[in-house]
Structure 1
Amino acid sequence: MGLHQYSEAINAARPEALRESLRLLLAAHALPVFGAAKAVEHEVAALNALQVIGYLPERSDEFELVEKLRITKTKARNLLYQVALRQQGQSVTEIDDSLRAVLGGRHVLKDGSFFLVEVPDPLTMDRLRRRVRAAGYLSDGSFSGAIARIPEGALVTLIDELIDKHHKQEILKRLHKAGLADVSVSGFVKAFLITVGKKYAGEVGVRIGDHLVDLFEHGYASIAQYAGEVVNQLKSSQVSAVE
């Protein structure tokens, strides 16, 4: 692997980007003194610099690193993890946003009573695993590489936690008006997943993520077209009305 593979990106980069990439590369040599930084610090600095000049996307996944840096998938995921650890501490809201983005992605597949979710970022995967454990479900045997295999009950709990308070209040208000005063938000989420799963059987891999991101962003209003079916699902007791 030679420098020539970066030449196009270097030549196309703006002067400000080149200065910033050089600053990132040299910063690793000052931790704490020249020559004292570990190899991983230089690798992280180089990856950040390559993103600044546009050789790598700002939010790279392991496949892009494998292709463009000629490294193994394991090495790529380890490097992404190291980069994430060195970023400034994220707030609870930012962490929740990263989980919403994963669940609202297009790579969400239904497999029986489980949901398969692709999680390119290894730190987000660890956070997802922790939330699944906190919900009382086994995660170690259900997660492999970049794929999280989440039990339906754990996903329901997670979605419930990620819906903001304003949307939750609106959901409960609408359910009460429909005569379902005892239904919790988690009961609604479970009925919603069943309804969408039946509606788009055979193409759920695309549809579930699309509808989840709508649910996170717009709450009850985003599923108005399914509201009647969700309510009927709850009234027919096919799901538990109270979680």
Structure 2
Amino acid sequence: MFVDRIDGIDAKEVKRVFKELITAYMNPAYGSMSKRDFDILLFMKLQDLKIIEKDPDLYDIVSNLKVTRAKARNLLYEAKMRNSSEEMLNKELRELLSTPIFFKENDKIAIEISNPLLSDHLRWKLKRLGYITDGSFSAELIKLSEEAYITIFEDMIPNESRKKITEALVKCGAREELGFKGILSSILKKLSGRIVGRAGDELVDGIFKYLDPLISGKLKEISSVYKDFFVEP
């Protein structure tokens, strides 16, 4: 059972978390905390004990806590809001932008996000940049146009780093006149053609290998990974 996971946790750790739970519940007085706030607090303490993961799949919360999907999303949203800074959200967003999902139709690109707060963070950034998102298919799957994806990808890289990244790609054979956005567009088109027939971890790793060095500004990795990338067969 779900609660049996407590048996495998060090007693000192359980005692520490339980003390924190009681201390928070007693502030400012016993019974003053609302049920909603207590539910959120307890959820966060279950995460502290690793009974629930920090970035769980929503279905894991639904099945283990016996709550609705809406309740699970709300618990995760509130927990993330209390524990996440904008810097942390941006770091997580960079990781997700490194593993996009390509669609054959209409040049659509999707980002799968289980963290509802991060989903709102992405939508806010895109709206600020002048783009809207499509989440009609699934709340966890956000569809973007290729232009919107490239724009948010570029926005996550500081200007000075972007210049160095572009120079590194040009040294590897990319066309300088295209600029960063144009080069990234050509990279995405080439990657989408390469992933046909791949699945699972192989698919994710194949995309991450090329996009993570760009959004993270890893110049040495760019020089290595893109060495023969732009060479026409």
Band the TM-score falls in, shorter-chain normalisation? 0.7 to 0.9
- 1:109 corresponds to 2:101: yes
Deviation at 1:209, TM superposition (A): 4.2
- Amino acid aligned to 2:45: A
> What is the Cα-based RMSD across aligned positions, in Å?
2.7
| 2:155 aligned residue (135, 153, 161) | 161
Where does residue 230 of structure 2 map in the other structure?
228
| CA distance in 2 between partners of 1:68 and 1:174 (Å) | 48
- Amino acid aligned to 1:127: H
Where does residue 194 of structure 2 map in the other structure?
199
Deviation at 1:181, TM superposition (A): 4.2
Residue pair 2:191, 2:207 contacting (<8 A) in 1 also: yes
Deviation at 1:190, TM superposition (A): 1.1
- 1:213 corresponds to 2:208: no
- 1:184 corresponds to 2:176: no
1:226–1:136 CA distance, 2 compared to 1 (3 A) = farther
1:59–1:176 CA distance, 2 compared to 1 (3 A) = closer
Choose 179-188 or 71-80, whichever is displaced more.
Answer: 179-188
Where does residue 28 of structure 2 map in the other structure?
32
| CA distance in 2 between partners of 1:213 and 1:199 (Å) | 17
Deviation by residue 1:129-183 (Cα, 9 ceiling, x = unmatched): 1122222222256674111111111100111122345642333324555584433
- 1:78 corresponds to 2:74: yes
| CA distance in 2 between partners of 1:179 and 1:148 (Å) | 29
Choose 136-145 or 38-47, whichever is displaced more.
Answer: 136-145
Residue pair 1:164, 1:216 contacting (<8 A) in 2 also: no
Aligned length: 222
Q: Percent identical across equivalent pairs?
A: 23
Deviation by residue 1:31-59 (Cα, 9 ceiling, x = unmatched): 43221211121111211222233321233
- Amino acid aligned to 2:210: H
| CA distance in 1 between partners of 2:137 and 2:144 (Å) | 8
SS in 1 for 2:226: helix
- Amino acid aligned to 2:66: R
TM-score (structure 2 length as normaliser): 0.81
Residue pair 2:209, 2:225 contacting (<8 A) in 1 also: no
